[in-house]
Amino acid sequence: MGDIKKNQKNFIIALIAGVLIYFFLPAANGLTDLGVKMLAVFLPTIYLWLTCGTGWTSLFSVTVAVMLGVYAGSSAYATLWGNICAAAVIPFLMVASVMQENGAFEWIVKWIISRKFIHGRPTLFLIMFTIAEVIISIFTAPQVVAVLFFSASW
């Protein structure tokens, strides 16, 4: 329940920041009106990525960018789903999110840490950690696994 309230608080902070940027940042010194709108979406998106995660935040940011007229709706969603990068990242993040939410990453990290044969042997620990990342990377992107493993081990 605490995470929901924390996420709501972070969402409100991001919303206020976006509104302040949108209404009070002047389009001057080479910054256009379109640039102000993009900053009003982009900066809160980065904040939400850091505090709440990337899944819904990413989709929400594209939707808000379309609503503000930063992108044309049809081309934004065609690019979002039609680009090879998006086609690769979306399934990886979906699988990684499920694995993190159900505790799979945390279980794997704790299993590695609890093995007696690696205690006092940092090189062996790193080898086991790398093997676990390689196995999980079969199902997701290696970069996603690295970030999620470290967040689970904290």
CB 139 within 8 A of CB 95: yes
Q: The tokens of 24 are what? A: 């009070």
Element (H, E) at 63: helix 55-67
Q: Using one digit for the tens of pLDDT, what is the confidence trace for 94-148? A: 667 777 778 877 787 788 878 888 888 888 888 888 887 777 777 666 666 666 6
Tell me the C-alpha distance between 153 and 113, whole Å.
Answer: 9
Q: Using one digit for the tens of pLDDT, what is the confidence trace for 56-75? A: 787 788 888 888 888 776 67
Considering the entire predicted model, what is its pTM? 0.50
Burial (Cβ within 10 Å: 0-12, 13-18, ≥19) of residue 117: exposed
Q: The tokens of 65 are what? A: 């960018």
